[in-house]
Amino acid sequence: MLDWNINLTTIFIGTLVMIYTVSGGTKAVSMTQKYQLTIIMTGMIISRVNGLL
């Protein structure tokens, strides 16, 4: 769509993600995963309860 080289774009974005994670983003990534797991588990529990009703 933007006529960018997909390989260079992937390498660039991957490098940015690695730099962010190594430079202190690890805590943010960990917190995000905890929130995501909470949302997923809550959805699964609600689905199970609705299935029993």
Contacts of 29 (CB under 8 A, 6+ apart): 21
- The sign of the CA dihedral 30, 35, 36, 42 is positive
Q: Which two tokens stand for residue 48?
A: 């199970």
- 42 against 17, higher pLDDT: 42
Q: Which range marks the domain in which residue 52 is found?
A: 26-53
Does residue 6 sit within a domain? no
- Residue 40: inside a domain, yes or no? yes
On whether residue 14 sits in a domain, the answer given is no
Chain segment 22-53, per-residue pLDDT in tens:
887 778 878 889 999 999 999 999 999 998 87
What are the tokens at 25? 């983003």
Query: Is 17 inside a domain boundary?
Result: no
- What is the full DSSP assignment across 8-53? HHHHHHHHHHHHHIIIIIHHHHHHHHHHHHHHHHHHHHHHHHHHH-
Q: Is residue 11 part of a domain?
A: no
Residue 12 has pLDDT above 90, yes or no: yes
pTM given for the model: 0.52
Higher-confidence residue: 41 or 2?
41
- Asked whether residue 1 carries a pLDDT value surpassing 70, the answer given is no
Residue 45 falls within a domain, yes or no?
yes
